[in-house]
Amino acid sequence: MEFVKRQYRLAWDFFKQSLAKPFLGCALAFLALCVVSGLLFGRFTPQAEAVVGQFLSDLEQSGLLKENGTIGLPALLGNNLRATLVAAALGIVPFVYLTVLPLAMNAVVIGAVLAASSAMGAGLWQMVVLGLLPHGVFELPAILLGMAMGLRLCAGLSAAIRKKPGAPRPEELLPQLVRQYVCFCLPLLTVAAVVETFVTPVLMGLAL
């Protein structure tokens, strides 16, 4: 137990020192992109519905959706873990900051879903509070943390390549990021998957 506590202390210290700023930046950028894309798609409903349709088609092809239209817990958890890991791993490419791509894509999809739901008569706040918030309070921080990790990795590798004074060594930075993923992303996404699988459908059913 003491080993686990120590890992969490180290992870929290590293977050405060190295990830808090990129995490906040990702959160603000994500929120802004969700709002902007939602407003834009609100003016172009057919395009919003096309984005949502493509998103649902991708879900079906990925195996997340069962034949009855529900989402399987193992598949959902695996998908979210993989997506967060990819967002972080994109930072392995120095100078380019590829992690901004999944950040923008996720925000655009959420904006399209909200716009399409509103156009179909679903209450926007009802969709947010019942459909997104219950699992989103766990899932979104984990995803944003993965993106912040990707930005930090890219910045660290770029600084090391330029031999910038004080740049972190990759062999020290990578274990820190792995600890963040295991200590924070993994448990948050596990809780989010359970809530999204078993709680969110019930709440949405009560609202219909």
- Please give the model's pTM, rounded to 2 decimal places: 0.91
Helix ranges (H only) for the chain are 2-14, 20-43, 45-62, 73-89, 100-119, 124-126, 133-161, 170-180, 186-198, 200-207
Output the tens digit of pLDDT for each of the chain's 208 residues.
899 999 999 999 999 999 999 999 999 999 999 999 999 998 888 899 899 888 878 777 776 766 666 677 888 899 999 999 999 999 999 999 999 999 999 999 999 988 887 777 666 667 677 778 899 999 999 999 999 999 999 999 999 999 998 888 999 999 999 999 999 999 999 999 999 999 888 887 765 5
| Residue 47 contacts residue 109 (beta carbons within 8 Å) | no
Contact indicator for 152, 18 with CB cutoff of 8 Å: yes
Provide the β-strand partners of residue 71: 65
